[in-house]
Amino acid sequence: MQTKEKTKFTLSSALMLILFLVLAVLMLFPLYALFLASLKPATELFRYGLNVRWDLDVMGFANYKSIFSGKGDASHYFGWYKNSLVITILFTLLSLLLSSMVGYGLGMYRFKGRNLIFTLVLVVMMIPVEIILLPLYKLMISMKLINTIWGVILPFIVSPLPIFFFRQFALGLPKDFMDAGRIDGCTEYGIFFRIMVPLMAPAFGAITILQAMNSWNNFLWPLIVLRTTEQFTLPIGLASFVSPLGNNYEALIAGAVLAILPILVVFLFFQRFFMEGLTVGGVKG
């Protein structure tokens, strides 16, 4: 009986592994096709579209050389890259700090109006961002933040989704740690940063990936706020390669491949922290 159950378990595990391998190949296939397209001239793209044909006669790194040479349309590429990196890093750090404190406060402390505040957070989650673009734009004008990185960062650093996520995670944390910290003389901020933040590592890992991706890929709001070419973020800059005045698909595709790298690094790095954080802490009684 045990041998039969073991065989059944092994077979189901093998089938599950095969399923996930197939899904992984399907997910990575577009990236593979994009990378091959970045090694070919635009004429091949127009002739065959995105494909996985290996044609060594036309393949090369000329598209990447045009990016790194900094000539023509790609002269501002690494300036856009730098702008996106700065905005993404600042946005993610500030969002993690403020959203985690708000979510932790709503989840761990009991005070008058707590449920009302949480209800307002849920209501804001239901409002499409397009509805508030005009009021936010007027606010940025009044604060003289148009065409600055802070005009891109500040309106969305405290978002309802991270607050909701941190609040739900904090509800599952034992309050015994808070009481122990108070007995040891910790302040409320000390309890949060020294005790609770390590316990919330899975939440921080997940929200870091989410917020970094949202900031890095954000197109609409930076397009509204930023006006000069030097201040553009990478998505806006890449979009400028295709215009009624001319199209530079070679630089567009090569630049898009390079744009994947930071988010790939963030995902791989914080995925490890996310998995490790699942085993952090606990009340032993």
The DSSP symbol for 39 reads: T
Domain ranges of the chain: 2-60, 75-277
Query: What is the pLDDT, as a whole number, of residue 142?
Result: 95
What CATH class has 75-277? Answer: mainly alpha
Task: Tell me how far apart the alpha carbons of residues 46 and 246 are, in angstroms, rounded to a whole number.
Answer: 15
Which residues are bridge partners to 243 per DSSP? Answer: 246
- The token duo for 69 is 């040479």
Query: What is the pLDDT, as a whole number, of residue 6?
Result: 60
Give the count of alpha carbons within 13 A of 153, CB side only. 18
Task: Tell me how far apart the alpha carbons of residues 136 and 239 are, in angstroms, rounded to a whole number.
Answer: 23
- The token duo for 57 is 């006669």
Query: What is the pLDDT, as a whole number, of residue 104?
Result: 92
Burial zone of 240 (CB within 10 Å; 0-12 exposed, 13-18 middle, 19+ buried):
middle
Query: What is the pLDDT, as a whole number, of residue 4?
Result: 58
Q: For residue range 188-202, what is the model confidence (pLDDT) as tens digits? A: 898 899 889 988 888
* pTM for this entry: 0.85
Q: For residue range 225-236, what is the model confidence (pLDDT) as tens digits? A: 999 989 999 999
Contact 101, 108 (CB under 8 A): no
Task: Tell me how far apart the alpha carbons of residues 15 and 259 are, in angstroms, rounded to a whole number.
Answer: 35
Mean pLDDT, each 10-residue run in order, the chain (285 residues) = 60 84 87 87 79 80 84 82 95 95 91 90 89 92 94 92 90 86 87 89 88 93 93 92 76 90 88 58 39
